[in-house]
Amino acid sequence: MPADFLHLALIQTSLYWENPDENLTSLSQKIDALPEQLQLIVLPEMFSSGFTMNPGVVAETMHGKSVVWMRETAIKKQVALVGSLVIEEDKQYFNRLIFAHPDGKLETYDKRHLFTLAGENKVYTSGEEHLIVEYNGWRICPLVCYDLRFPVWSRNTENYDLLIYVANWPKPRIDAWDGLLKARAIENMCYTTGVNRVGFDGNHHEYSGHSAVYDALGSVVVAPQIDEEKVVTAVLDKKSLQSIREKLKFLEDRDMFNLK
């Protein structure tokens, strides 16, 4: 498809607890069933394990099987693939988002805001750098779960077109997820999508999905998908986004700042 459009799929799925092999098999089956014209597939946070605080059980290097699977799937399907997993590097653990390009190139973002309520900050190392991906004429900012609560970190100072959140966001706080996703779209004048898992994890926490897509005005492109495993697709329109920005120009009035 031309660069004016971005055809993406959101994979809202349950996850096998701390079992990369089962998760990769399940995700492969879901991806194989998707239409061929897709350009981008978004997976949940820690798609190979669920949101675990036992990184030593599932961690891998950047040459590990889940990373290799992402690269090989992207190449085979000629589609970009994005999601996060547990990576070990320099004797540290990272909740690392990987953006795998169809040519095999990998770009990474380490989750900045670690979820202290679950003790994520005690076992993982925080990232310090944004990632802006240039893909098919689109500028994409991918972030991870708890980052959603921090609007300064996601502020659109880089003129990106699409904001992505991959998540394991629990059901008791799902109203916050819904409200914040829509707010990030409005304030950053960009398409915003969030992909959340469903089901129960090994700690008996329940997840209800609510994966969704909003446009630059906060209007629904894909309504929140509730409770069940579901794969949904959407086509994003670059010209429509540009038209909204040219007409309203809200980003021209944004505050400039240095984040410390």
Active site residue 91: no
Sheet-wide strand order for 80-89 = 106-110, 92-100, 80-89, 40-42, 5-12, 230-237
Active-site position among 18, 141, 145, 182: 145
Q: What is the 3-state secondary structure (H, E, C) of 4-73?
A: CEEEEEEEECCCCCCCHHHHHHHHHHHHHCCCCCCCEEECCCCCCCCCCCCHHHHCECCCCHHHHHHHHH
Residue 97, Cβ density class (10 Å: 0-12 exposed, 13-18 middle, ≥19 buried): buried
Q: Provide the 10 A C-beta neighbour count for residue 56.
A: 10
Active-site position among 18, 45, 107, 120: 45
Active site residue 190: no
Active-site position among 107, 111, 120, 190: 111
Active site residue 171: no
The set of catalytic residues is 45, 111, 145
